[in-house]
Amino acid sequence: MAKKAPAKNAVSATSTTEMYTTGTFSPIIEKCDGCERAIEVEATKYCRTYVNPEAKWRLGICNFATHVKPEITVAKIRVNPLKASKRASAKKK
């Protein structure tokens, strides 16, 4: 009798655990705490999206982080009122 193959959509818990505990994935760093993408396997937290989470934080905010929003700074530009009135009058002609 032939063995029945497992369903394609079924993922066993042991294969998921092996993926993180074999050393392929690095544990998350402190900056990753609170992210929705962090999962806990055997009391260690891993990023389910990226293999090396520390590398994503080297240049600033991780683009996968769900708990941190980038700061948008709006710089107010001071316009010389004399130049602004000249530009406005030039457009009317």
Q: Does residue 32 contact residue 53 with C-beta atoms inside 8 Å?
A: yes
Quick one: which of 65, 74, 82 has its CA closest to 90?
82
Question: pTM of the entire structure?
Answer: 0.53
Q: Quick: pLDDT tens for 51-68.
A: 888 888 888 888 888 888
Residue 40 phi/psi, 5-degree rounding, is -110, 125
Q: Does residue 23 contact residue 17 with C-beta atoms inside 8 Å?
A: no
Rg of the chain (C-alpha set): 26
Q: Quick: pLDDT tens for 1-48.
A: 555 555 444 455 666 677 776 777 888 888 888 888 888 888 888 888
Quick one: which of 58, 3, 51, 11 has its CA closest to 28?
51
